[in-house]
Amino acid sequence: MTTAVIIGNPNSGSAGDENYLEGFAATLRAGGLTVEVLNTEHPDHATELAAAAGDRLVIAAGGDGTVNEVINGLSEDATLGILPLGTANVLARELGLPLEPGEACGRILSGKAFRIDIGVATDGGETERRFACMAGIGFDAEVVREVGPRLKRYLRSLAFPLAALKVYIRGDRPGLRIADAETTRPARFAVVANGRYYGGEFETAEEASLTSGELQVVLVEKVGSLARPDVLAHILAKRSLDRTMKSFASRDVSAESASAVRVPVQIDGEVWGELPMSFRVEPAAVSVIR
């Protein structure tokens, strides 16, 4: 590809400074690309800009929220590039990309495109949302909802543990019913993973892969179990959560609340809707540079 567009999130790092992104654009231009820089102005604007970009190389400059917006507008013939400017940069880690933006530009110029699976969430109204990394049901969605942009900007990686403690103190979570074609399983918190990483460099599911053609579903039957010494040791050692929790693989799974209590869902680190919701995988749906 010889033409590219950089879509930047003004709320991720210094990406709102047009000159900041222009510096990376200059690096890419020196490498032979024709580059246009666009800053997002409102939620889901990156989706609109990606859709209008057509079959060009579309570079998401921001965090996982920006990447998610871009993949939801990406055309079938476009290729995704990632300039990681967020807090967790989960997809960039999953792909083994450099987390330093200058080095990431070099990878965009020298890397090869390959196709990855994409998850798709569908709410009760049949509205769909793609996700690259994961969907979190219940507890972690409440945590994400608690962490606003200002808190994330000032506390960065500390924002989520502090919010998690606050949400945990409120009490236990409502029950969930997670079902695939074979059976229905109970849980209090669940993660539908398209890849291994979660919230940064922590791992959710050991067998999860962006090219496996299926989703890995990790079930937490009691949120308090996450604080058990054996489980906490695995988390702190950055070992996969599914080593201590029940999990299963599926191409299609559904989730609903076991009571009248509303249960939120987060998609790639942003709250998106409430249960009931279903999740499926679209194999090799997106081309991305790594």
Cβ contact 243:218 at 8 Å: no
pLDDT score at 161: 66
Taking the CB of residue 254, how many other CB atoms lie within 10 A of it?
A: 18
Cβ-Cβ contacts under 8 Å for 43 (sequence gap 6 or more): 69
CATH code at 90?
Answer: 3.40.50.10330
- 200 assigned to some structural domain: yes
The ranges of the chain with pLDDT < 50 are: 14-16
pLDDT score at 13: 52
- Domain limits at 102? 3-111
pLDDT score at 16: 47
- 24 assigned to some structural domain: yes
pLDDT score at 53: 97
- 289 assigned to some structural domain: no
- 84 assigned to some structural domain: yes
- 231 assigned to some structural domain: yes
Which of 63, 93, 111 represents a domain boundary (last residue)?
111
Give the C-alpha separation, 134 to 118, whole Å.
10
Give the C-alpha separation, 196 to 278, whole Å.
20
pLDDT score at 243: 78
SS (H, E, C) 73-112: CCCCCCEEEEEECCCCCHHHHHCCCCCCHHHHHHHHHHCC
- 58 assigned to some structural domain: yes
Q: What is the DSSP string of the chain?
A: --EEEEEE-TTSTTTTSHHHHHHHHHHHHHTT-EEEEEE--STTHHHHHHHHTTTSEEEEEESHHHHHHHHTT--TT-EEEEEE-SSS-HHHHHTT--SSHHHHHHHHHH--EEEEEEEEEEETT--EEEESSEEEEEHHHHHHHHS-HHHHHHHGGGHHHHHHHHHHHT-PPPPEEEE-SS-EEEESEEEEESSSEETTTEES-TT--TTSSSEEEEEES-GGGGGSHHHHHHHHTT--GGGTSEEEEESEEEEEESSSS--EEEETTEEEEESSEEEEEEEEEEEEE-
- 199 assigned to some structural domain: yes
Which of 89, 111, 133 represents a domain boundary (last residue)?
111
pLDDT score at 262: 93
- The answer on 161 and 79 residing in a single domain is no
Strands 277-289 and 252-257: antiparallel
- The answer on 173 and 73 residing in a single domain is no
Number of structural domains the chain divides into: 2
Question: Model confidence over 250-269: pLDDT tens digits?
Answer: 999 999 999 999 999 999 98
Question: Any bridge partners for residue 86, and if so which?
Answer: none
- 290 assigned to some structural domain: no
Which of 111, 133, 160 represents a domain boundary (last residue)?
111
Question: Model confidence over 142-187: pLDDT tens digits?
Answer: 888 887 666 666 666 666 667 666 776 776 678 999 999 999 999 9
